[in-house]
A and B are shown apart, each in its own frame.
Chain A
Amino acid sequence: MGEAILFWFFGGLTCVLALLVIVMRNPVHSAMALIGNLFCIAALFAMLDAHFLAAIQVLVYAGAILVLFLFVIMLLNLKDHELGNARQTATKIAGAILLCWVAFKLIFRVMPSTTAGFPAVGDDYGTVETVGRFLFGPHLLPFEVASILLLAAILGSVAIAKKKLW
């Protein structure tokens, strides 16, 4: 019962904050709402016994990546008139219809298949040891491919941000 209350609390807060991210006019306010959103997702991870993921969600996403977001906001430093006018009613209606369609699809197609029942996991399911055993065992290839992804991020940022490459 207590867990259900916590789930609905954090789940609802996640949705509200996600909405604020796209509704806020000021990009910095959006970023602040995103921090709250990522914290709530960390709480949801924790409730799913994904302890390592919850900690990393706070450290990497709410910490480091949000700092990058704020840097980019300050790098661009968009003025109010550069943010565009918010009165594009046709676009908004089209977006709302599309959103409703996706939401209905998710609720009526995906949800029954996910609530069908999963085998219960042990108490140590989401601990660092278990994650490590999966990461360095069956999921070795994704782990090594992640290094390529990080390499691409280094190359991309250096190529973009350096004035002279040679």
Chain B
Amino acid sequence: MLGYGAVLVLVALGGTIAVVFVGLSRYLGPRNANAAKLTTYECGVEPVKTARERFPVRFYLVAMLFIVFDIEAVFLYPWALLFRELGLFGLIEMAVFLMVLVVGLIYAWRKGALEWE
């Protein structure tokens, strides 16, 4: 339980700063909006259509692969910390674990899942 005081202070401070800044700009800032000011800013170009477009499914594939290898990295972390203690046995354990995932990586690669087509 100890040691989380700093985290709580950070969260509280971050939240306070965000609320104060948004609140101050709302309270102090002049508001004289007109239609041109309220349009979406697209680098000076007139907005073409709605921003609520359907996303291509490619993003799903990238996100999914990212999560899988993210979780792999999570498992690597305690192993790296105990590397000396676990020795050869730990190395073999991790090799088996990684081998299965490398099979998946090769599959995804061969199927062209890493290409942005």
Contact = CB atoms under 8 A, between A and B. Distances in A.
Say what secondary structure dominates the interface of chain A: helix
Contacts of B105: 154
Given A132-B82, A151-B101, A162-B111, A56 B58 contact: no
Say what secondary structure dominates the interface of chain B: helix
B60 A128 contact: no
A157 B60 contact: yes
B97 to A, nearest CB: 5
B77 interface: yes
Interface string B90-105: 1001001110110111
A18 B59 CA distance: 27
A147 B102 CA distance: 10
A13 B86 CA distance: 40
Contacts of B67: 60, 64-65, 68, 153
B104 to A, nearest CB: 4
Interface of A: 3, 46-47, 49, 52, 56, 59-60, 64-65, 67-68, 71-72, 74-77, 128-129, 131-133, 135-136, 140, 143-144, 146-148, 150-151, 153-155, 157-158, 161-162, 165
29 contacts: A47-B1, A49-B1, A52-B78, A60-B71, A64-B70, A68-B63, A75-B56, A76-B54, A77-B52, A129-B78, A132-B81, A133-B85, A136-B79, A136-B82, A136-B86, A136-B89, A144-B93, A146-B71, A146-B97, A147-B97, A150-B71, A150-B72, A151-B100, A151-B104, A154-B65, A154-B105, A158-B107, A161-B58, A162-B61
Given A132-B78, A165-B111, 16 more contacts: A46-B4, A49-B1, A59-B74, A75-B55, A77-B53, A128-B78, A129-B81, A129-B82, A132-B81, A147-B101, A148-B100, A150-B100, A158-B113, A161-B64, A162-B112, A162-B113
